[in-house]
Amino acid sequence: MKGVIGADFGSDSCRVILVDAHSGTICATATRFYPRWMEGKYCDSEKNRYRQHPSDYVEAFEGAVKEMLQNATREQKDSIAGIAFATTSSTVCLTDVNGIPLALLPEFRENPDAMFALWKDHTAVKEAEEINELVHQWPVDYNKYIGGRYSSEWVWSKVLHLLRNDKEVAAQAFSWIEQCDWLPNLLCGINNPEKRKYSRCAGGHKAMWHQEWGGLPSSEFMQKLAPDFPGFLFCPYRETYTADTAIGTLTEEWASKLGLPANVKVAVGSVDCHVGAVGAQIKPGFMVSVVGTSTCDILVAEKEKTGASVVPGICGQVDGSVLPGLIGFEAGQPAFGDLYAWFKELLVGPLEQLLPHSGWLDENSRERLLNEIREQMIPWLTAEAEKLPVDSNAVLATDWINGRRSPDADELVKATITGLHLGSNAPGVFKALVDASVYGLKAIVDRYSENGMEVNEVIGAGGIAQKSSFVMQTMADVLGLPVKITNAKESCALGAAMFASVATGVYRSVEEAQEAMGQGFSKVYYPRNEFAAIHQKRYQEYLKYKK
């Protein structure tokens, strides 16, 4: 047996799995939530500020690995040869001259601007616009391979905003680090920014890195963008590496902390949705949609087929960002499941405020009732929405509750619900929100197709793909494509384990690892042609709001 560990750092928790690389058998798993994040610390939703403490990642990872090993046999533990990471992105933090995240320094341990700015942090909208304006004036088009527009969700926008927002933080900052680069290098004891190995995936999709201009944007560009912050000019790398590359091995300290052998190899980190696409067995012609609180929609294509063409309005196309040797394409929606969660909170929120004042129930009964309502709300809405007809005159919504990422990013656009009348009810509105989220996905598929990228089938991964047949059937109906559901419940962690198996030499390529370790598919949803015309009419109405 050769054991490999895949670690997936999501928005709320760290999930780790131990996989037998030869058979693909998942031997043990564990999940730990980020303690400070779960307390709601350092975030302000009204300001679109979402920050995470680096200690949350370390503590959750260490706890999850130890718990996972408790569920493994001695043979399985002794066989572990490698580990790889998938993380959210762009989730970025300022560091000091020694490469240490500022929030780990005593003077900044409670300062949100010294912490990792989570992918969905939208505090840097102004900075993103400044970057786009400068790119339009610059002789080199740094936005060429990232859809034509830089986002407030990405590295340079966030770094510039963090520096501007706190003078003390800016004075101490020397460089910056992505979550997917910090964690694996940390385990290998590499803190020096110039000695780390950096992710091709994160660099290409989030930081304007590309071979065409020799790496990251030039120092002249950075000086023009941020003349007040000389430290901002320090770009920590020119070279990037695909996720099947080994960085080094665990330090003795980390091996002891985790209870792992000291010779365990650590692979270069990568972005969760790209890694999840690998775990879901992506190949050319298949789009993997990782469907959860948000979505990422990933394609791969041979270089000969893409040529010099670029797809406008997406989140990037990068050589080797998904499968080494192929061009990886990313698009996505910043709110998918979050749209449904917002509606649930809209319905449940007043009850949470009113029930504590009720004299009919004791405190324990009120709490139990609220928990029961929260758990049953989405399943009930789903069951009732499924009973409703597919009607071209039904309530229509748009999905931009957290702005729009793809196609054609716009963080300031707002969601809408139209066509309401006195007969409108909660299941009808919920159905409109489901339609809207899938229409947003169709806009992405259409953009790929319009630019010569083949999308013949969709592979659904992530929590909603596993749990909601209503949403996935709607997806098949709207897209007019078969939607296959991966058997891999933790596709991001599994994809990371596949990369670890290549980095340790078990397999020669990621495709070989996919063939051996892939979990197959549990179900296929086929489009119901009788609803195609109705959805097409509603989709055209949806597009009018985009303009």
Over residues 73-101, the pLDDT tens digits come to 999 999 999 999 999 999 999 999 999 99
User: Is the pLDDT at 235 greater than 80, yes or no?
Assistant: no
427 in the same domain as 392? yes
pLDDT digits (tens, 9 = 90+) for 465-507: 999 999 999 999 999 999 999 999 899 999 999 999 999 999 9
Tens digits of residue pLDDT in 336-393? 999 999 999 999 999 999 988 888 888 899 899 999 999 999 999 999 999 999 999 8
Q: Is the residue at 64 inside a domain? A: yes
- Say if residue 287's pLDDT is above 90: yes
pLDDT at 267 over 80: yes
Does residue 376 lie within any of the structural domains? yes
Q: Report yes or no on 324 lying in a domain.
A: no
Residue 306 placed within a domain: no
Same domain, 169 and 218: yes
Q: Do 365 and 268 share a structural domain?
A: no
Residue 215 belongs to some domain of the structure: yes
Segment 394-417, tens digit of pLDDT:
999 999 998 998 999 888 899 999
What does the pLDDT read at residue 230?
Answer: 73
Number of domains in the chain: 2
Are 22 and 516 within 8 A, CB to CB? yes
The answer to whether residues 495 and 350 belong to one domain is no
Give the CATH number of the domain where residue 125 resides: 3.30.420.40
Helix (H, G, I), strand (E, B) or coil at 132: helix
Instruction: Compute the average pLDDT of residues 322-345.
Output: 95
Percent of the chain with pLDDT strictly greater than 90: 88
Pair (238, 103) in one structural domain: yes
pLDDT at 232 (0 to 100): 66
Give pLDDT, residue 386. 97
> Domain span at residue 348?
337-487+521-546
**Do residues 418 and 495 both lie within one domain?**
no
Give the span between the Cα atoms of 265 and 503, in whole angstroms. 7
* Residues 112 and 169 both lie in one domain: yes
Residue 264 placed within a domain: yes
> Cis omega (within 30 of 0) on the bond before 54?
no
Question: Are both 236 and 374 inside the same structural domain?
Answer: no
User: What does the pLDDT average to over 161-182?
Assistant: 95
DSSP letters for 383-449: HHHHTS---TTS-EE---BTBB-SSS-BTT----EE---TT--HHHHHHHHHHHHHHHHHHHHHHHH
Mind listing the pLDDT tens digit for each residue in 416-453? Answer: 999 999 999 999 999 999 999 999 999 999 999 999 89
Residue pLDDT, tens place only, 16-45 = 999 999 999 999 999 999 999 999 999 998
Q: Are residues 502 and 478 part of one domain? A: no
* Cβ proximity of 199 and 240 under 8 Å: yes
According to DSSP, the β-strands at 417-418 and 457-461 are: unpaired
In a domain, 374, yes or no: yes
Q: Is 305 helix (H, G, I), strand (E, B) or coil?
A: helix
The pTM is what?
A: 0.91
- Residue 308 inside a domain? The answer is no
